[in-house]
Amino acid sequence: MVALVVFWSGASAQIRYSISEELKEGTVVGNIAKDLGIDLSTLKERGFRIVSGSTEPLFQVNQNDGILYVNRKIDREEVCERSSVCLINMKTVLENPLEIHYVSVEVLDVNDHSPSFPEKEKRLEIFESALPGARFQLQAALDTDGGQYSVQQYKLSHNDHFRLEVKDRGDDGKIPILILKKPLDREAVKSHILLLTAIDGGKPPRSGDMRITVDVLDINDNPPVYTKDAYSVLVNENTIVGTTIVQVNATDLDEGPNGLVMYSFGNSVNSKLRKLFDLNPVTGEIIVRGLIDFEEKDKYELDIQASDKGLAPMTSDKSVVIRIVDLNDNAPEIEVTSFSRAIAEDSRPGTTVALISVNDLDSGLNGKVLCTVMEDTTFKLMPSLQDNIYSVVTMSPLDREKHSEYDVTIVAKDAGQPSLSSVKTISVVVSDVNDNSPEFSLSPYTFYVTENNHPGASLFRVSASDRDINENAIISYQILRNGVEENKLSSFLNINPENGHILALKSFDFETLKTFQFQVVATDSGTPSLSSNVTINVLILDQNDNAPVILYPVSANGSAEGVEEIPRNVNAGHLVSKVRAYDADIGYNGWLLFSLQEVTDHSLFALDRYTGQIRTLRSFTETDEAEHKLVILVKDNGNVSLSATATVIINVVVPKEAFASSDVKSAGKDEEENSVTFYLIITLGSVSALFIISIFVLIIMQCSNTPDDSSKYLQDVNYDGTLCHSIQYRSGDKRYMLVGPRMSIGSTIVPGSNGNTLVVPEHRRRASGEVRR
């Protein structure tokens, strides 16, 4: 057995080659047999080959001359993705006697990929009001090559308005930023076409392009311009109402709402002129609205204002001269002698709103005038004792919240043939009274507040509205503090009486308080005031504010440290210890993961990241240290994770020391010193007997082991011809046996893998017995 171990340790070697990617199939990498000093004549006889998986291997070896060659074209970016060093590790096998050699081939990168943008065309929209220096970040180009062959620089096509700035983010690459260097003018150029080029560091370099279209959005920077310098028109008196007498026209160079022109009378146009003439705000047509009488006036001048519909409208003024051509007739005239523009909404039916008088310069039937309210069921005219004097009174109750303003149109018509008439419209505003209580936008409110909030900071806001206006609609807020149990936490809250922002005077803790409710009262400023209240439900949300607490191991002084002793002869998979921890948070904030932060020998121990169990990865050898220090990091899964560490010192003792320590502890419970020697003798005798039996069993197994016997257990296609071993361990009430190829130094058993696990039947467990720790 000693000779076998010495031969095994000397029958392996490792060599390394370097090649470029994208080499043709059959390209020679190196002569493995020559580099390892192997006799070429024995290669085929000893079955010289590369051990590979089920996929097509990247390399093959020639058994005649020992040359390693490329089996298929290698794409470094496909094999190693973005790794800085691309190593392909292989294992070669020689039989009779068995030799294993490790070969590493480093695949060097070449510039075989061009940079490319996620989009071939990019469209940006920029207002023409943007100031020079405005920055617009663009998407970075991608290059699957790495290192110096990745994207190194960007270039922007020549233009007068933009320049390019590149921001280097280290490993994340370079980000192009478009910067405006000259103001834009949509009226001059509506769009700009740019070409952004990404260049890598190859020789010769490769590049990729992206077309950038910058659409200049309009702002309102041009006023309307009239098509004529002056407007003048002749109109007959008594022209039919609704007749278009002239049309003004103005254009605006802007687009959209900024270029949409609307027309209106200027401030100098008095109400009398507005009764005679109307202006179409869209077309600019001036229309006869009232009776035009040459005897009253023979010339009118109207100031027209053209304005666009931009956010800050621009206007232009123009005067229109209307000269009246005399005809022989007169229409009635309506005059408002007394008018109350505002009337309270709680006024009773029959309340007088206005007094009007009607006059007609004609006489007889042509001067007899009849007045009516046109198409209105809210107001009516009441004649007075004097002729041609009328009162405008209400017919029904008013409600300002339904109708806040009425346009009362009064028609005066004489009795002439053909009859003439006049129309007058008065606007009646309904004033408010406090007849509506505040109404909250929601009832009840439900808000979510994250724990550890800052005292004095605003948590949320309630809002109420009042259908009334002015003072009657001004609302103030307050928290209801009536000593009721459900409002007991209201003393820790405050509210801004003006805007309803609610502040917390203390910081909430999810672990002690998860939900509470209180009430807010909204009161208007009317006389008398009206109010309403609403219930607010507050739910506290958990934050990751509790670090994990180590429950085991814990030393006598309270620190997370512990010492474990295990025998040197334990097998792989042996449970050494288990780290236990607790987190007061919930959900992901309380989900704990374990990891090894520091370990003296990575090949000896493994840590289950979910349970915290520490198990051996392999058996101990004589060269392994007797003491091992493991620092375990326990962290939660919060957005900003919190952690704690535990230190476990593992002392590896020889079996007789472990058993002696166990016997001394158990004997101390029954006898003090008398039976110690007796148990030590039994223990040493048992260990010696087990040791001798183990040697014989191993010799018999090695002598009787044949390829036919072992093949039925090794169904893995990656089997490389090495010997087998097994590991037994317990899990709950079942015992398991791991069966797999013997692993070389540095190999590991992955925790959680059960690909080669056998379950030992219950009757075999009872028949063979168990050794309990």
Q: DSSP for 234-287, please give it.
A: EEETTPPTT-EEEE--EE-SS-GGGG-EEEEE-TT--HHHHHHEEE-TTT-EEE
CB 151 within 8 A of CB 173: yes
Mean pLDDT of 301-307: 92
**CA angle (437 as vertex; 432, 439 as ends), nearest 5:** 120
Which residue reads 């039925």 in tokens?
Answer: 712
DSSP state of 160: S
Amino acid at position 26, single letter: G
Q: How is residue 319 written in tokens?
A: 């005067």
Give the least confident one: 66-75, 207-216, 674-683, 732-741.
732-741
Q: What is the pLDDT of residue 537?
A: 92
Residue 309, SS3? Answer: coil
Task: Quote the percentage of the chain above a pLDDT of 90.
Answer: 19
User: Predicted confidence band at 236 (pLDDT cuts at 50, 70, 90)?
Assistant: confident
Give the CA-trace dihedral at 717, 719, 721, 722, to 10 degrees: -170
Q: What is the pLDDT of residue 511?
A: 84
Q: What is the pLDDT of residue 477?
A: 93
CB 614 within 8 A of CB 605: yes
647-685: buried (b, 16+ CB within 10 Å) or exposed (e) per residue?
A: bbebebeebeebbbeebeeebeeeeeeeeeeebbeebee
Q: What is the pLDDT of residue 532?
A: 93
Per-residue pLDDT tens for 583-617?
888 888 888 999 998 888 888 899 999 999 999 99
Mean pLDDT of 271-286: 91
Mean pLDDT of 157-178: 86
Per-residue pLDDT tens for 334-349?
888 877 778 888 888 8
CB 264 within 8 A of CB 240: no
Kindly tell me the burial class for residue 59, based on how many C-beta atoms sit within 10 Å of its own C-beta (0-12, 13-18, 19 or more). buried
Peptide bond into 183 cis (omega under 30): no
- Return the HEC string of 213-244: EEEEECCCCCCCEECCCCEEEEEECCCCCCCE
> Which secondary-structure segment (H or E) carries 4?
helix 2-10
Order of strands, sheet of 231-236, starting from the edge strand that comes earlier in the sequence:
231-236, 315-325, 299-308, 261-265
Q: What is the pLDDT of residue 523?
A: 93
Q: What is the pLDDT of residue 262?
A: 92
pLDDT value at 634 more than 90: yes
Per-residue pLDDT tens for 358-398?
887 766 676 788 888 887 778 888 888 888 889 888 888 88
Q: Are strands 277-279 and 231-236 parallel, antiparallel or unpaired?
A: unpaired
pLDDT value at 285 more than 90: yes
Mean pLDDT of 715-728: 35
User: Predicted confidence band at 414 (pLDDT cuts at 50, 70, 90)?
Assistant: confident
Q: What is the pLDDT of residue 767?
A: 36
Peptide bond into 553 cis (omega under 30): yes
Give the least confident one: 85-99, 215-229, 693-707.
693-707
Q: pTM here?
A: 0.38
> Which secondary-structure segment (H or E) carries 358?
strand 352-359
303-317: buried (b, 16+ CB within 10 Å) or exposed (e) per residue?
A: ebbbbbebeeebebe
Beta bridge pairs of residue 515: 539
Q: How is residue 90 written in tokens?
A: 């292989």
pLDDT value at 618 more than 80: yes
CB 431 within 8 A of CB 343: yes
User: Predicted confidence band at 5 (pLDDT cuts at 50, 70, 90)?
Assistant: very low
Whole-number mean pLDDT of the chain? 79
User: Predicted confidence band at 279 (pLDDT cuts at 50, 70, 90)?
Assistant: very high
pLDDT value at 714 more than 70: no
pLDDT value at 141 more than 60: yes
Mean pLDDT of 179-198: 88
Amino acid at position 147, single letter: G
pLDDT value at 759 more than 60: no
CB 420 within 8 A of CB 291: yes
Kindly tell me the burial class for residue 722, based on how many C-beta atoms sit within 10 Å of its own C-beta (0-12, 13-18, 19 or more). middle
Per-residue pLDDT tens for 486-496?
667 778 889 99
Q: What is the pLDDT of residue 488?
A: 72
Mean pLDDT of 25-44: 83
Q: What is the pLDDT of residue 559?
A: 81
CB 269 within 8 A of CB 258: no
Q: Are strands 734-741 and 724-731 parallel, antiparallel or unpaired?
A: antiparallel
The region, left, alpha or beta by phi > 0 then psi within -120 to 50, assigned to residue 452 is: left
362-401: buried (b, 16+ CB within 10 Å) or exposed (e) per residue?
A: beeebbbbebebeeeebbbbeeeeeebbbbbebeeebebe
pLDDT value at 661 more than 70: no
pLDDT value at 662 more than 50: no
pLDDT value at 739 more than 60: no
Which residue reads 């991608």 in tokens?
Answer: 142
Q: Which residue has the higher pLDDT, 416 or 175?
A: 175
Per-residue pLDDT tens for 432-482?
888 888 999 998 999 999 888 888 888 899 999 988 888 888 999 998 887
Q: What is the pLDDT of residue 374?
A: 82
- C-alpha of 28 from chain center: 51
Q: What is the pLDDT of residue 206?
A: 86
pLDDT value at 665 more than 80: no
Q: What is the pLDDT of residue 485?
A: 64
Give the CA count within 13 Å in the CB-facing half-sphere of 282.
Answer: 0
